[in-house]
Homo-oligomer: A and B are copies of this chain.
Amino acid sequence: MAKVDTSLVANLPLFAGFKPEELDEILREARSARFPKNSAVFEQGEDAHSFFLLLHGHVRAAKTTPTGEQIVVRYVAPGETFGLAMAIGLTQYPATATAVDDSVVLAWPTGTWPRLVQKFPALATNTLQTVGTRLQETHTRVLEMSTQQVEQRVAHALLRLAKQSGKKLDHGIEIDFPISRQDIAQMTGTTLHTVSRILSGWEQLGLIEGGRQRIILREPHKIFVLAEQSAGGGPA
């Protein structure tokens, strides 16, 4: 089997403090897999057979209600882990993970986790930090949904996406994977119609440049100002 290049992953927070040979031992337990654009890595409710580290591409994690509505839990960028169901005591995935671009992952069988953690306790503490950070972020999201209007929430969402997965261009920052208005709606707790209206407005003002599943922030700073603003837009 082809060995995974340790240099690609050595600096990830997950592996902070590991020696090369330890890293190697951990990586040996994983197999790598490729998921073409729009294919499912795993589905909500499915048995949690593996946990993952994204190497290339982008993955959307989404949670669906019994009645079929869904929200985007997060977008996974290269270097991030996902599908950690078992580490947090679940036997089934609580969300669906879909590759939004051709993606490559490392996958560890669920069964390896207890053994790895026992041998490398730092794995647990590193994962704890990661999960803790996500918890904070999710609390922030709740706070935003409770206190801000849709326009500001969308602004924040775009800024976060740009920060996490933005590609610098001469004329702005492009979000580096296909993302629809519907996706943004599901990230911010609104409808695709409202998102479309807002983005159209911003495009008029030259703040962004839109396309089919494409968004370029032309004026990140102005969007930032929008995001912080409370309701009133100011004097006419």
Q: A147 to chain B: which residues have CB within 8 Å?
A: 65, 67, 69, 71
Least CB distance from A168 to B in Å reads 28
Least CB distance from A236 to B in Å reads 23
Instruction: Give the number of times this chain occurs in the complex, counting copies.
Output: 2
Assess whether B131 is in contact with A135, with CB atoms less than 8 Å apart: yes
Given contacts A142-B138, A142-B141, contact A131 B186 (CB under 8 A): no
Least CB distance from A111 to B in Å reads 15
The CA-CA distance from A118 to B120 in the complex, in Å, is 11
Total interface residues on A, CB under 8 Å, equals 38
Interface CB pairs A-B, < 8 A, 14: A67-B147, A69-B146, A69-B147, A88-B136, A90-B132, A117-B121, A117-B125, A121-B121, A124-B125, A131-B135, A135-B135, A142-B145, A142-B189, A146-B186
Interface residues in chain A, defined as those with a beta carbon under 8 Å from any beta carbon in chain B = 63, 65, 67, 69, 71, 73, 84, 87-90, 94-95, 117-118, 121, 124-125, 127-129, 131-136, 138-139, 141-143, 145-147, 186, 189, 230
